Amino acid sequence: MKFNNVLKRIDLDNNYSNGWRPQDKCGVFAIYNYQGPDNAALITYLGLLALQHRGQESAGMAFNCEQGINHIKGMGLVDHVFPRDTLFAIDSKTILGHVRYSTTGSSFVVNAQPLVARSADQSGISLAHNGNLTNTRRLHNKLLGDGHIFHTTSDTEIILSYLSRFKRRGLVSAVQNAMNIIEGAYSAVVLDEEQLVAFRDPNGFRPLMIGCLGEAFIFASETAALDTVGASFIREVEPGEIVTAGPKGLSSYKQVSDSESSLCVFEHVYFSRPDSILGGQSVYGFRKKVGSLLARRITAGLDMVIPSPDSGVSAAIGLAESLNLPMEWAIHRNSYLGRTFIEPTQNEREMAVRLKFNPVKDLITGRRVAIVDDSLVRGTTARVLAALLRKSGAAEVHLCIASPPYKHPCYYGIDIPLARDLAALDSDLNYLAAEIGADSITFAELSDLYSAVGKEQHKLCSACFTGLYPKLGKTRGKVS
């Protein structure tokens, strides 16, 4: 993989939140020409529910109707935005859906996706996007200079603006020309009155899957969404590829680029559901294997392994099996507390974690326990869990992290804290463990992640661990 470690070349306008975990940009689900017994809106609803973990701020759908392309969207979870009567009122066989967490653009309903652009003849296009552009500021200023009036603060509108400009040449040509201009991470689906077009950036930072359900075609951020609606997985949209679903079926157009695949390793580590498949590999299997490899690095004596719910479960299983130790669900997670309870101050964040987790004391008292999590970012959750375990009578608390120390910002669609807020900036693990309140802390090595991925390791972006950023791919050529 080619890398560029000079940050000044990256043109950004990112908005980082104060949450204690990294957040993925969004989830996309789109269905074309559904002819089944249910309506397409219900299928899209179920697909979006399966992708709810990728974004909880807002949800939306866009679809064709007699008046052109219409959309329904709102703030909150999918089942809040789309009550049952709303779903059955949507009479369309082709629908574009989206769940959002903001990385560029504030958390307001105007930024909820899909975004829609209409022409003077009332024809229109709608776009849903997962990722983050890296030349946002430059393109924003250029469009302003050309007289464009922005309606959102999202980088998705920049993509939509260029698609609208080039649409008269056809939707595929519009996508090809837009891809020559935009840079960064984008797995996106665009809808007009005739077809659905999916496209993915030349590096392939974010996943995008193709499936079928009867005669219908589906694009989704994860295979788990295809499974949920009973669809069959066909393949992934390749980096730099444009795939259309239209009256003649699926068509593919591969853009020319000098980049190499750079799928975000955090898709394996944390973002994707464990029942999803990435690059032909089980996400659950990856995390379990990393846990097994992490077990070789642990020198402390242990009595029990505890997963940090729910992010550390797969790795904890692998670690416990390798160490021949019992794994106990000794920390209960209140699943009814969501992001609404995340507050901006450190004290309020820690209180939110206490509301979210509660230990089973009888399992913990007098035991030397390993608490396993997928990653360590701010360290807020780790601090509170260590304190809860000690208060419950744990003899020793050892923190086991199934990824390397997170030390560098992401520019490709993950919302993380500023570098100064990252817990693992200091390489002194004894100091870090003491600061968190653990007896020791053990991280997986990058080689463990590569070993778990196998032959596809060269196709991963691991800049958040290494600071070595992939060379951004640029597509070349256009269709008139």
First-to-last C-alpha distance (Å) of the chain: 32
Cα separation, 41 vs 307, in Å, equals: 37
Does a cis peptide bond (omega within 30 degrees of 0) precede residue 373?
no
Whole-number pLDDT of residue 337 = 64
Q: Where residue 65 falls among pLDDT bands split at 50, 70, 90?
A: confident
CA distances for 458 relative to 265, 453, 461, 462, angstroms: 11, 9, 8, 10
3-state SS, residue 266: helix
Tokens of 453: 């991925």
Bridge-based pairing state of the strands 241-246 and 304-307? unpaired
Whole-number pLDDT of residue 178 = 95
Write the single-letter amino acid at 458. H
Q: What is the pLDDT of residues 36-60, one digit of tens each?
A: 888 999 999 999 999 999 998 999 9
Contact by Cβ (8 Å): 221, 99: no
For 72-81, 342-351, 446-455, 470-479, which range has the lowest pLDDT when averaged over its residues?
A: 342-351
Whole-number pLDDT of residue 118 = 86
What average pLDDT does range 304-309 have in this prediction? 94
3-state SS, residue 262: coil
Higher pLDDT, 17 or 354: 354
Element counts in the chain: helices (H) and strands (E): 16, 29
Write the single-letter amino acid at 89. A
Nearest to 271 by CA among 283, 253, 262, 255: 283
Q: What is the pLDDT of residues 295-305, one digit of tens each?
A: 999 999 999 99
- Domains present along the chain, CATH in parentheses: 3-265 (3.60.20.10), 284-454 (3.40.50.2020)
Whole-number pLDDT of residue 123 = 77
> What b/e string do you get for 333-355 counting C-beta neighbours within 10 Å, with b at 16 or more?
eeeeeebeebeeeeeebbebbee
Give bridge partners of residue 461 from the DSSP assignment. Answer: 264
Selected catalytic residue, list 26, 212, 264, 461: 26
Kindly tell me if the per-residue pLDDT of 363 is higher than 50: yes
- 414 Cβ neighbours under 8 A, 6+ residues apart: 22, 23, 24, 25, 103, 132, 264, 266, 464
Q: Is 26 a catalytic residue?
A: yes
Write the single-letter amino acid at 268. H
Whole-number pLDDT of residue 415 = 66
Q: What is the pLDDT of residues 242-301, one digit of tens each?
A: 999 999 899 999 876 667 889 999 999 999 999 999 988 999 999 999 999 999 999 999
What average pLDDT does range 319-338 have in this prediction? 89
Instruction: Give one DSSP letter per residue of 77-108, joined into a string.
Output: -HHHHS-HHHHHT---S-EEEEEE--SSS-SS
Q: What is the CA radius of gyration of the chain?
A: 23
CA distances for 95 relative to 3, 12, 121, angstroms: 38, 31, 21
- Which helix or strand (DSSP H or E) is residue 317 part of? helix 313-323
Cα separation, 436 vs 186, in Å, equals: 36
Cα separation, 395 vs 364, in Å, equals: 8
- Which helix or strand (DSSP H or E) is residue 303 part of? none
Q: What is the 3-state secondary structure (H, E, C) of 411-441?
A: CCCEECCCHHHCHHHCCCHHHHHHHHCCCEE
Higher pLDDT, 33 or 354: 33
Whole-number pLDDT of residue 16 = 30
Kindly tell me if the per-residue pLDDT of 24 is higher than 60: no
Q: What is the pLDDT of residues 66-93, one digit of tens each?
A: 778 999 999 999 999 999 899 999 999 9
- Which helix or strand (DSSP H or E) is residue 206 part of? none
Q: What is the pLDDT of residues 111-127, one digit of tens each?
A: 899 999 987 776 789 99
| Number of C-beta neighbours around residue 56 at 10 A | 18
